Amino acid sequence: MPAKIIDGKQIAADIRAELKAEVEKLKLKGIVPGLGVILVGHDPASISYVTAKEKACADIGIYSDDNRMPTETSEKDLLALVNKMNKDPKINGILVQLPLPKHINEQKVLLAIDPAKDVDGFHPVNVGKMVVGQKGFLPCTPHGVIQLLIRSGVKLDGAEVVIVGRSNIVGKPLANMLIQKSPTGNATVTVCHTRTKDIATHTRRADIVIAAAGRPNTITADMVKDGVVVIDVGVNRIEDSTKKAGFRLVGDVDFEGVSKKASLITPVPGGVGPMTITMLLYNTVASAKIASGLV
């Protein structure tokens, strides 16, 4: 029986509707959540991504402070803007779009963001809170993955989870979140990577496989058991002359093959992608509530 599709677009829409209602209640108390967005340079993918984030803010009623800076912007000027946003009470979250131009130290900029406004969840203070199970801002893509699972009725408690990929953005934080002693954790987690000798040995025993390797066809049908839940975080461009753009987007999973064995699976696009921006909005609203003493 073919797998049921986990519709990331619909789940993201549901969460955004919840956030919109919450923002409307906050506005009745004179509280308007604000997101400061900084884009340096003219990278088309970054421009597209930032534009989508700004539209999402507008859709749910979040104030968006849009700052687009030329490629030649100095590190000093960028840090000055971050510091200004740190002190601005109208800004509850700060987003610096990566990658930055080569002459700017990304780590230095990310460290300059006030952890209380780090809605990407990248600052070491928030990473540390996540690891020890304290409340803080969770990184958006891993948090989105967990929301997809929970809202699709997938049991995490006691589940055998295999994550393929160990990046600081997805693999590592997701593993830490899933092993927490909490309603959104309690899983047994294995992390596979480029030095894992036989990835299939691990994935075949998994109840849940999460692919975040950044390579097409990393997970094929022979690598999973019947009834597995598959979350595909990967986004890869492959040449396709039948498409107007000359390429199409695929994940890290052989969707056609694996979907015949899985019970649930995310598509690419339309799976994990819509959740990343949604959880950024979630963190921004949460930050506004914290700053106002509501939580």
Q: How many other CB atoms are found less than 10 A from the CB of residue 270?
A: 16
Determine the Cα–Cα distance for residues 142 and 177; give it in Å rounded to an integer.
8
Residue 81 backbone dihedrals phi, psi, to 5 degrees: -70, -40
Active site residue 120: yes
Yes or no: say if 51 and 80 are a contact pair by the CB < 8 Å rule.
Answer: no
Distance (Å) of CA 254 to CA 37, 247, 251, 257, 264 = 35, 17, 8, 6, 14
Helices (H), 29-101: 44-60, 75-87
Catalytic residue, from 97, 118, 252, 261: name it.
97
3 state DSSP class of 230: strand
Angle between helices 8-28 and 44-60 (to 10 degrees): 50
Residue 264 backbone dihedrals phi, psi, to 5 degrees: -140, 145
Structure tokens belonging to residue 230: 């598959």
Determine the Cα–Cα distance for residues 270 and 129; give it in Å rounded to an integer.
30
* Sign of CA pseudo-dihedral 228, 232, 236, 238: positive
Catalytic residue, from 7, 118, 120, 252: name it.
120
Active site residue 77: no
Residue (of 167, 187, 170, 169) closest to 178 by Cα position = 187
**Rg of the chain (C-alpha set):** 19
Catalytic residue, from 7, 53, 252, 254: name it.
53
Tell me the one-letter amino acid at 64: S
Q: How many other CB atoms are found less than 10 A from the CB of residue 241?
A: 6
Catalytic residues, by residue number, are: 53, 97, 120
